[in-house]
A and B are shown apart, each in its own frame.
Chain A
Amino acid sequence: MSRPEDSLPPDLFYNDVESRKYTTSSRIRNIQADMTHRALELLDLQEPSFILDVGCGSGLSGEILSSVEEEDGGPHMWVGMDISSSMLAQALERDVEGDMLLADIGQGVAFRPGTFDAAISISAIQWLCNAETSDVSPEGRLKRFFDSLYASLKRGGKAVCQFYPKNAQQRSMITNAAIKAGFGAGILEDDPETKSVKVYLVLSVGGGDVTGAVSGMQDVDVYDTRRKERKRGKEFEKKGSKAWIMRKKGQMEAKGKVVKPSSKYTGRKRKTAF
């Protein structure tokens, strides 16, 4: 299947027709809701928070933030940014609770330093890799985005960006831009090596050890420059992590052993251990 990112710029791709189709599809609504819940689990917010939703679209991700129950630390308040006026029009029609801006995240996030407790982005930031005109490059736009996102978060704040990298090069271009901006960064994959793989970039604005905040999280492979050097550029695979389990399973299967089928819960710890 061809990627929409390769066909048109986002504001043209998400026109009135496509935005309506996207927003009313129950299949898409379910997928976006699942991923937003996953992102919230990774953010682990303890109290009603002020959240930036990057590429908020028609509010499918944002409305999940508004609906978090009091006993689960919610409900949260969100501000969304999106470049497609048609997507935002859908959000208005659906009467979402968040505030929204028509804005291009590649031009930066125009909020005071330390504004947000957290940020999420669901299925949006891969679009930043598709900009090629004389005055803008994907690298320049990624830098502008991550630098300003970093500044807009409070100290100890976190961001979780689920995205669809086209290939390994795009994935590392995005991750590296985040690290260069100062974030502690980790990557988590749900259903790795399947067609429905989901990649989450987990970012923290930390003092001290920048990787500390993400290394305690379930299944998150931490990017640490020192470790990376030792492992010669390979991602760090923690024993017991999902990547590790999947590799072991592969080895066992290859030896003809019976292996439990993998699911999205493979390698996840029970909720209480989180």
Chain B
Amino acid sequence: MKLLTLNFLTCARKACKTSAASFPLHPREAELEQVELDMNPQFIRNVLPRVEWEAMRSISQELGLPSLPDTAPGPEELADAEGGPTQILKDLHTLLMETTIASGKLLCANCGHEYAIKEGIANFLLPSHLV
């Protein structure tokens, strides 16, 4: 699972919907894997305003990744004078698009439910009593 996706996922239980603690989900025993992907600057530009930067910072910290700047980079920091990709854009690409959780768990801080991740795929199937 890409860290980008993790930044948008919430706990699936109905009871957690209204609780602020159900986002972000917390990675546990996570094994990271870098998966190479072509850079898509337009996509990053498009999606970046929707990324919850605070959550991104805490997720990175929990995963032991280098700490992120206090605030999200602005659109003007993504392209250089010639319109080419800046180092900041490249770093965002590495962090959001290429850093994946290959296995581990995602924990909801509200209800304590753990979603298992195997081969990069998180299991969000809820047993019927938790739906």
Contacts and interface: CB of A to CB of B under 8 A. Distances in A.
Contacts of B123: 101-103
Interface in A30-63: 47-50
B43 A48 contact: yes
Given A110-B12, A135-B128, A50 B46 contact: yes
Interface stretch (B3-11, B64-72, B80-88): B3-11
Nearest to B2: A99
Given A48-B43, A77-B40, A107-B131, A99 B10 contact: no
Given A92-B119, A111-B10, A99 B43 contact: no
A49 B44 CA distance: 9
- Contact-size category for A: 20 to 34
B43 to A, nearest CB: 4
Given A47-B46, A103-B124, A117-B46, A97 B10 contact: no
Interface string A93-131: 000010111111001101110110100000000000000
A88 interface: yes
B42 interface: yes
Interface residues of B, number: 30
Given A48-B42, A50-B47, A104 B125 contact: yes
A184 B50 CA distance: 24
B122 interface: yes
B111 interface: no
A177 interface: no
A10 interface: no
Interface string A138-149: 000000000000
Nearest to B96: A77
B122 to A, nearest CB: 5
Nearest to A77: B43
A76 B42 CA distance: 10
Q: Which 5 A-B pairs have the closest CB atoms?
A: A48-B43, A110-B12, A103-B124, A115-B8, A99-B5
Interface of A: 47-50, 70, 75-77, 79, 81, 83, 88, 92, 97, 99-104, 107-108, 110-112, 114-115, 117, 135-136, 154
24 contacts: A47-B46, A48-B42, A48-B43, A49-B46, A50-B43, A50-B50, A76-B43, A77-B43, A77-B47, A77-B97, A79-B8, A92-B120, A99-B2, A100-B120, A101-B121, A104-B125, A104-B126, A107-B12, A108-B12, A111-B8, A112-B9, A112-B10, A112-B23, A112-B52
